[in-house]
Amino acid sequence: MEPLLQGFFVTSGLIIAIGAQNAFVLKQGLLKQNILAVILTCFICDIVLISLGVLGLGSLISQNLMATVVLAFLGATFLLFYGLKAFLSAYHGDASLTFEEQENTPQRAIHAVIATLLITLLNPHVYLDTVVILGGIAGTLAFQEKILFLIGALCVSALWFFSLGYGARLLIPFFRRPITWRILDLIIGVIMWAIAISLIHYGVTLLKEL
């Protein structure tokens, strides 16, 4: 069971960190807005990306420098826009503080899924963690061990996103105070812009290599 535990603990170190995707899931959990759709979308993305990395198919993606550059700048643009929205929300203090359960209509669910896909797939760091790092570690394992490694990694993904999404409700009493919500929006904005700046730097560095 060593490969399974290795996949579990290595993935834990990568996935349990403050980032754009986790901040988005946390906010949706606090607002109780289509959280199941958001969680499942994050988990399905991990299933696909981690499987590609662990089973060795991700090398085709990582070797295409031009595609990585385009992805980096697209991701930076999206995160700059998303961060700006968070800053404006923090400034105006217009975020919902009632935490009322909203009707999960198909249209709202679709919008939530699209937003989750954008914030997940337009971030090259996701590919670095799931395809390059996990794929590199699993590359030394036999096929049967890779399967166990993959199972361990996906167990972490499922546990983390469901805990983050539904566990966020435990924080609702703190977020009934407007100042707490504005602080969260400010933190999210800083995270988004910090990642966007790092992506721009990453893209420029790759451009110099072309």
Which has more pLDDT, 96 or 150? 150
| pLDDT given at position 102 | 57
Q: Is residue 194 over pLDDT 70?
A: yes
Average pLDDT, the chain: 83
The average pLDDT across 151-155 equals 95
Q: Is residue 191 over pLDDT 90?
A: no
Which pairs with CB-CB distance under 8 Å and at least 24 residues apart come from 101-108? 101/32, 102/31, 102/32, 102/33, 104/33, 104/34, 104/37, 108/33, 108/34
pTM value? 0.74
| pLDDT given at position 59 | 55
| Cα–Cα distance for residue pair 86/82, rounded to 1 Å | 6
Q: Which two tokens stand for residue 173?
A: 């009493």
Q: Is residue 7 over pLDDT 90?
A: no
Nearest to 7 by CA among 118, 103, 141: 141
Q: Is residue 94 over pLDDT 60?
A: no
Q: Is residue 81 over pLDDT 70?
A: yes
Contact present, 148 and 8 (Cβ < 8 Å): no
Q: Is residue 165 over pLDDT 90?
A: yes
At residue 163 the predicted structure's pLDDT band, cuts being 50, 70 and 90, is very high
Cβ neighbours of 3 (radius 10 Å) = 20
